[in-house]
C-alpha cells in the first residue's frame, strides 16, 4: 500500500496523468524527459544502498575469517587431517645382581578403535564390526559395545583386543583398507623368565583400566602399566616415553603423507640385589620337601645382613605371571582365584604366622639389655612351670641348669617363660618391653620393602587384647608371647630381617630388592641402604645371642648343619596354629658365622617340627650357595 501511494504521488508530482503516459503522440521535450526518467529512482537508490551494506558486511566477515582468524582456522583444518600416531616405548629390563635377564619385551600387536575415523553410515558400521569380530574371533556384539560406547568425534584410541595372534595380525593387515575405524598397533608384551618362581618379586604388567587411568592421566587406554611387584613399584622408572609419527590422513583416516617422527625413549633398566640362582635353588629345595611330606605351601626370604638387600624371596605355590602380561583367559583367572592354596598370595611378605621359637633370640637380647638376666644367669629347665592350676609345659625336659646360650641352642621354653613373665627369682620382662624390642627389630610393623602388599604382623599388648578380645592381659599371655606363641605373628620377611640384624651386630636395615636404576644416559641411581634402627642392643649382648645360635648347630636342634663347609648360626622353630595342634616348621639362620653375608628364614606351612622340614631345606641351600654356586657348576 505504501509503494502504491508513493508511486501515485510521484506521478502526480511530475504533472503526468496515466493517459498522458500512454499517449504516443507528439510530446514536448520536457514531457519526453519526464517519460524517460525512472519512475522509482529513490527506491532503486535505497535498495542499491542496502545491497552495498550487505556486501560490505560479507566482505568484512570474509576478511575476519581469512586474515584475522586465518591462522587459527588453518591450524584447525590441519589438525583435522594431521594425526600423531603413537610409537610405544619399550619398557625397561629387569636384571638380577649378576646381570641375568628376568624379563624381556616381546613384539606384539593390538587392534585399536579410533571413533573419529569410523563411518557414519550404520550399514557400513555393521559391516566393519562383523568383519573385525570374525578376524579376531570375538563376539560381534562385544565389538559393537566397544564402538557404541565412545564419543564418535574422539581421536583417542580404544583397545579392542590385545596381543593378537600372528595369524590374526596377518589377516587384519591384508584387509586393513576395508576398515576405517580399526587399526593395527605395534606394541610389546612382557615375557618373564621362570614366571612361577619370580612372580612374587617381579609381579606383572597389564593393560591400564579406567580406574587406573584416572590417577595416571598421561597414559592412554591402550598402554600397559605395572600391576604387582617390582613392575608396579618401579613403574615410573621402567616405563618409557612414547614417540610420535606425525602423518597426514584422508577423511577415512588412511595415511597419505609422513610429516616426521619423534622417536620413543626406552624405559630405564632395573638391577636387583636378588640372586636368581639362589631364588631358583630355594624354590627347588622346597619343592623337594613337598614331595617328601604332605605339605604344599611354604615361603623363604634371604637377606644380605650388610645392607638389607633381599637376595631371594620365595612364595609357594607361585603363579605364572606370563598369563597376565599376555592377557589372561577368564577360566585361568578363576582357577587361580579359586585355588585353595592361594598361589597369588605372597606368603613371604603378606603371610602372618606365629614365629614360635624363632623369636627366642630377640627375647634373649631384650632380657640381657634390660638386665633381667646376665650372660651367666642359669635356670633349671625342667618339664615346665606350674602357676596355680595352670601348667606351662616345655617341649622336652632339658635337665640341669641352663644359661641363655644353651636355652637358645636347645630351645628351652621354661627359660623364656621365666624371663618373659617372671618366675622364682627372675623378674618379668613383661609384654610392654617385649613389644618395644620386637618393634625395634622390625616386628609388628611394616618394614617398607619396595614391593606392595607387605603385612605388619602383630606384637600384642594389654590394650590390644582388651580392645580386640575384650579380656584383660594375663601372666600366661606373657609366657606365650615370650616363646613366639599366643597372639604373636610375623612375616617370613620380618624374621629374616631381624636375624640379619642379629648377624650384623644390631643394625636393622629396610629390606630392598632393587640395587640401582640404570638410566638411558648411562648414569646410575643407586638404592642406598637405609638403617631403620641401630645400637639399641649392646655389642656384648648381641655376641651372647649369636653364640647361642651357633650352639644350635654345634649341640642343639640343628646339628645336621655341622657338616656344611661354612659355619652357620641359627634357631629352629615349631609354631602351633589352629585348633588341631598342627605346627609350622621354621628355621632362621645366618652364615658365615664370623662375617655374615646371608641370613635366611624358611617356613614350611604345616610342616611339623622345624628341624625336620625347614632345616634340611636350609642345609641344601647353604651347601649350594657356598659350594656349587662358587665352583660354577
Q: What is the Cα–Cα distance from 148 to 129, expressed in whole angstroms?
A: 11
CA dist list (Å): 94 to 203, 443, 516: 11, 30, 11
Burial of 474 (0-12, 13-18, 19+ CB in 10 A): middle
Q: At what angle do helices 539-554 and 492-504 cross, to 10 degrees?
A: 110
Stretch (H or E) spanning 377: none
**DSSP state letters, 413-459:** HHHHHHHHH-BTTBPP-HHHHHHHHHHHTTTTS----SSS-----B-
Q: What is the Cα–Cα distance from 373 to 416, expressed in whole angstroms?
A: 11
What is the helix, strand, coil percentage profile of the chain, to 5?
45, 20, 35
HSE-up of residue 295 (Cα within 13 Å, Cβ side): 25
Stretch (H or E) spanning 23: none
For cell 640401582, the residue is 516
Q: What is the Cα–Cα distance from 284 to 300, expressed in whole angstroms?
A: 12
Stretch (H or E) spanning 361: helix 360-369
Q: What cell was used for 537? A: 642392643
List of residues 6+ apart from 402 with CB closer than 8 A: 378, 379, 380, 381, 410, 412, 414, 415
Q: What is the Cα–Cα distance from 496 to 24, expressed in whole angstroms?
A: 128
Residue 353 DSSP one-character state:
B
Closest CA to 146 of 121, 162, 129, 131: 129
Q: What is the Cα–Cα distance from 542 to 273, expressed in whole angstroms?
A: 26
Contact 194, 166 (CB under 8 A): no
CA-based Rg of the chain, rounded to a whole angstrom?
41
Q: What is the Cα–Cα distance from 513 to 225, expressed in whole angstroms?
A: 20
Q: Are strands 243-249 and 82-87 parallel, antiparallel or unpaired?
A: antiparallel
For cell 639389655, the residue is 369
Beta strands in 512-631 (DSSP E): 514-518, 524-526, 531-533, 569-577, 582-591, 598-604
List active site positions. 357
Query: Which H, E and C letters describe 477-492, residue by residue?
Result: HHHHHHCCCCCCEECH
Residue 115 phi/psi, 5-degree rounding, is -55, -40
**DSSP state letters, 236-280:** HHH--B-EEEEEEE-TT--EEEEEEEE--BPPPEEEES--HHHHH
Closest CA to 253 of 321, 188, 178: 178
What is the number of H-type helices and E-type strands within the chain?
A: 26, 23
Amino acid at each position: 500500500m505504501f509503494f502504491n501511494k508513493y508511486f501515485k504521488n510521484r506521478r502526480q508530482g511530475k504533472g503526468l496523468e496515466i493517459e498522458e503516459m500512454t499517449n504516443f503522440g507528439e510530446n514536448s521535450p520536457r514531457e519526453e524527459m519526464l517519460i524517460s526518467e525512472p519512475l522509482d529512482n529513490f527506491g532503486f537508490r535505497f535498495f542499491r544502498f542496502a545491497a552495498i551494506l550487505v556486501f560490505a558486511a560479507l566482505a568484512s566477515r570474509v576478511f575476519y575469517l581469512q586474515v584475522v582468524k586465518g591462522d587459527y582456522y588453518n591450524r584447525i583444518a590441519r589438525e583435522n587431517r594431521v594425526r600423531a600416531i603413537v610409537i610405544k616405548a619399550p619398557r625397561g629390563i629387569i636384571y638380577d645382581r649378576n646381570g641375568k635377564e628376568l624379563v624381556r619385551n616381546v613384539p606384539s600387536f593390538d587392534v585399536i578403535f579410533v571413533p573419529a575415523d569410523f563411518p557414519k553410515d550404520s550399514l557400513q558400521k555393521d559391516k566393519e564390526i562383523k568383519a573385525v569380530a570374525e578376524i579376531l574371533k570375538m563376539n560381534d556384539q562385544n565389538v559393537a559395545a566397544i564402538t557404541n560406547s565412545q564419543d564418535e568425534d574422539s581421536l583417542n584410541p580404544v583397545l579392542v583386543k590385545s596381543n593378537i595372534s600372528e595369524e590374526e595380525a596377518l589377516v587384519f593387515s591384508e584387509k586393513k583398507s576395508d576398515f576405517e575405524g580399526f587399526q593395527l598397533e605395534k606394541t610389546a608384551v612382557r615375557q618373564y623368565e621362570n614366571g612361577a618362581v619370580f612372580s612374587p618379586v617381579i609381579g606383572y604388567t597389564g593393560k591400564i583400566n579406567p580406574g587406573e587411568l584416572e590417577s595416571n592421566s598421561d597414559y592412554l587406554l591402550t598402554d600397559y602399566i605395572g600391576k604387582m611387584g617390582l613392575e608396579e613399584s618401579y613403574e615410573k622408572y621402567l616405563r618409557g616415553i612414547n614417540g610420535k609419527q606425525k602423518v597426514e590422513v584422508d577423511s577415512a583416516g588412511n595415511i597419505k603423507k609422513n610429516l616426521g617422527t619423534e622417536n620413543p625413549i626406552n624405559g630405564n633398566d632395573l638391577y636387583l640385589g636378588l640372586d636368581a640362582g639362589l631364588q631358583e635353588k630355594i624354590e627347588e629345595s622346597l619343592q623337594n620337601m613337598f614331595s617328601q611330606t604332605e605339605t604344599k605351601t611354604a615361603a623363604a626370604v634371604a637377606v644380605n645382613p650388610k645392607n638389607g638387600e633381599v637376595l631371594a624371596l620365595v612364595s609357594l605355590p607361585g603363579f605364572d605371571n606370563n598369563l597376565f602380561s599376555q592377557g589372561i583367559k577368564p577360566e585361568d583367572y578363576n582357577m587361580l582365584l579359586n585355588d585353595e592354596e592361594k598361589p597369588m598370595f605372597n606368603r613371604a611378605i603378606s603371610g602372618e604366622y606365629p614365629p614360635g621359637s624363632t623369636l627366642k633370640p630377640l627375647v634373649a637380647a631384650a632380657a640381657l639389655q634390660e638386665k633381667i638376666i646376665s650372660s651367666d644367669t642359669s635356670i633349671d629347665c625342667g618339664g615346665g612351670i606350674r602357676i596355680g592350676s595352670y601348667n606351662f609345659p616345655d617341649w622336652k625336659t632339658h635337665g640341669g641348669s641352663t644359661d641363655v646360650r644353651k636355652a637358645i641352642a636347645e630351645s628351652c621354653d621354661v627359660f623364656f617363660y621365666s624371663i618373659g613373665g617372671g618366675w622364682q627369682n627372675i623378674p618379668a620382662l613383661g609384654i610392654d618391653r617385649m613389644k618395644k624390642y620386637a618393634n625395634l627389630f622390625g616386628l609388628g610393623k611394616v618394614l617398607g620393602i619396595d614391593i606392595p602388599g607387605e603385612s605388619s604382623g602383630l606384637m600384642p599388648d594389654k590394650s590390644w587384647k582388651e580392645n580386640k578380645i575384650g579380656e584383660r592381659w594375663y601372666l600366661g599371655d606373657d609366657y606365650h608371647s615370650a616363646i613366639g606363641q599366643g597372639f604373636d605373628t610375623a612375616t617370613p620377611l620380618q624374621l629374616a630381617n631381624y636375624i640379619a640384624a642379629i648377624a650384623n651386630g644390631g643394625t636393622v636395615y629396610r629390606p630392598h630388592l632393587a640395587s640401582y636404576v640404570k638410566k638411558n644416559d648411562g648414569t646410575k641411581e643407586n638404592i642406598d641402604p637405609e638403617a631403620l634402627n641401630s645400637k639399641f642392643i649392646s655389642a656384648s649382648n648381641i655376641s651372647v645371642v649369636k653364640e647361642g645360635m651357633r650352639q644350635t648347630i654345634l649341640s642343639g636342634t640343628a646339628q645336621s648343619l655341622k657338616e656344611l663347609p661354612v659355619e652357620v648360626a641359627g634357631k629352629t622353630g615349631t609354631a602351633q596354629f589352629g585348633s588341631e595342634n598342627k605346627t609350622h616348621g621354621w628355621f632362621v639362620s645366618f652364615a658365615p658365622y664370623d662375617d655374615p653375608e646371608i641370613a635366611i628364614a624358611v617356613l614350611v606351612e604345616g610342616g611339623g617340627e622345624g628341624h625336620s622340614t625347614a632345616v634340611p631345606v636350609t642345609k641344601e641351600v647353604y651347601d649350594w650357595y657356598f659350594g656349587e654356586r662358587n665352583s660354577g657348576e
